[in-house]
Amino acid sequence: MRQAVQMFGPAQSAVAKAVADSVAKGVIPRDQAEDLVCVCGVFIHPEASDNQRIYNFNYEATEQAIRSAMQGRPTVEEMLAGKEKAKHPFRGFDDSPSETPSPATSDSSPLDLPPGAEEQLAPAANQQITEGPAGSEDEIEQTAAAEAEKVAQATSA
């Protein structure tokens, strides 16, 4: 239940604020704001307990994703060039072309983590969300910014 409260509390409010701020700053033109749709998924580590960090991380990721999307990034060509390289640690199955099961026949639950999934996540970014930061404040901020940029690139495709 805690994670549901975090999702509909700090994470959702961060996304809403980032969208509103993007309109206020002109990243989303006011004359287009009523016609555009923002679809957003957020990740909250199961051990996350610092609501301010959840808010900050999701705000930054959403703001960067919107900025990238409004700049047309990634382009269709960039997305197509990278589609076979993209990996998702929670997909639940090997995504190599020869072993990709069809959705109708897959018995994997989207919540079942594949072996090594935790190691594929950016450990420092997870640390930023949870209680004990790893490294200096500057290192943490740089890692969080890099991870937010990855989220922005993935979500603007």
Supply the CATH number for residue 131's domain: 3.30.230
Longest dimension (CA), the chain: 47
Could you tell me the residue range of the domain that residue 106 belongs to?
2-155
pLDDT at 11 over 80: yes
**pTM, to two decimals:** 0.57
Number of independent structural domains in the chain: 1
Confidence (pLDDT) at 108: 44
Which long-range CB contacts under 8 A does 68-74 form with residues at least 24 apart?
68/152, 68/153, 68/156, 69/155, 69/156, 70/22, 70/27, 70/28, 73/153, 73/156, 74/153, 74/156, 74/157
Structure tokens at 121: 């996540």
pLDDT at 66 over 60: yes
Question: Closest by alpha carbon to 66, among 10, 34, 25?
Answer: 25
